[in-house]
Amino acid sequence: MAEAKIITGANAKGGAGKTVSVIMLSSELAHRGKKVLIVDTDSEKNISAWFDRCSENETPISNITLEYAGTANKLKQILSANLDDYDYIFIDTPGRMEKFQEDSFLVTDLTIIPVQACQSEIKGMVTTISNLLQIEEDQGVNIRKLVFNTRVTLQDRHIEEYKTIRGFLAKLKESDVVVDHCNVELMQRNPYRKVYSGYPSLYDLPDANNDSVQKAIEEAVIFTDNVVRYLETGSL
């Protein structure tokens, strides 16, 4: 098995959809037969709570293992011990930047940054990108960054906040700062919320044949394809 690809979810604002996005990506990859490890570095343990709810719901999670790392040393230990045993490792970070989690960004192959079309989420995205750029400067590294829109509604596409996201990233590009923006948008909020309530994946929901769930599955498949392609080729 090749060394695992490491994907870190980050946004300096809690509630942006980071943990749900990590669950969606990891569960879709697990559904494809990939071996996935999730490392929870958030003291609130939201993604660990998802594992617990699945257990309580008697819907065990297949092909995904969970570890918790509350310190830099623990994170390093987990990564070094598991790089050769998994296809993908996801690191779920809290809705704030803590010093020890800098190590997540130094080792990651890709940092995914979800953002909603509202001022507080956009501010969280800007703060996250600024922090990552500072780490790059301080450590002399390049951190690949991929922004994507979550919890999008058709109405969102007409508001100024929605346009601000792409405008901000375009200005960064003009300054030779590369932060890619995925065109796939996650719109089906309720199915993802149901998974988070205690189901291993969208495919395991009781109403998996429901139209909204099928649309969510389609979103998850396309988004995962984009992330995998971006990891392999550097382009979307």
What SS3 state is found at 10? coil
The CATH number of domain 5-233 is 3.40.50.300? yes
Instruction: Render the burial of 120-159: b for 16+ CB within 10 Å, e for the rest.
Output: ebbebbbebbebbeebbeeeeeebbbbbbbbbbeeebeee
The reported pLDDT for the residue numbered 69 is 93
Tell me the angle at which helices 119-139 and 160-174 cross, rounded to the nearest 10 degrees: 20
The reported pLDDT for the residue numbered 207 is 92
CA 137, 139, 140, 141 dihedral sign is negative
Predicted TM-score (pTM) of the model is 0.92
Cross-strand bridge partners of residue 43: none
Number of residues written out for the chain: 236
The reported pLDDT for the residue numbered 149 is 85
Edge to edge, what strands does the sheet with 64-68 contain? 64-68, 36-40, 88-92, 5-9, 110-115, 145-149, 180-181
What SS3 state is found at 99? helix
The reported pLDDT for the residue numbered 183 is 84
Q: Where are the domains of the chain?
A: 5-233
Write out the chain's pLDDT in tens, 236 residues.
Answer: 679 999 999 887 666 678 889 999 999 999 999 999 999 998 889 999 999 999 999 888 999 999 999 888 999 999 999 999 999 999 998 877 667 677 888 889 999 999 888 888 888 889 999 999 999 999 999 999 999 988 766 666 667 887 888 888 889 988 888 899 998 888 788 899 899 999 999 999 999 889 999 999 999 999 999 999 999 988 87
d(CA 63, CA 177): 36
DSSP at 208:
T
* Token duo for residue 45: 């343990």
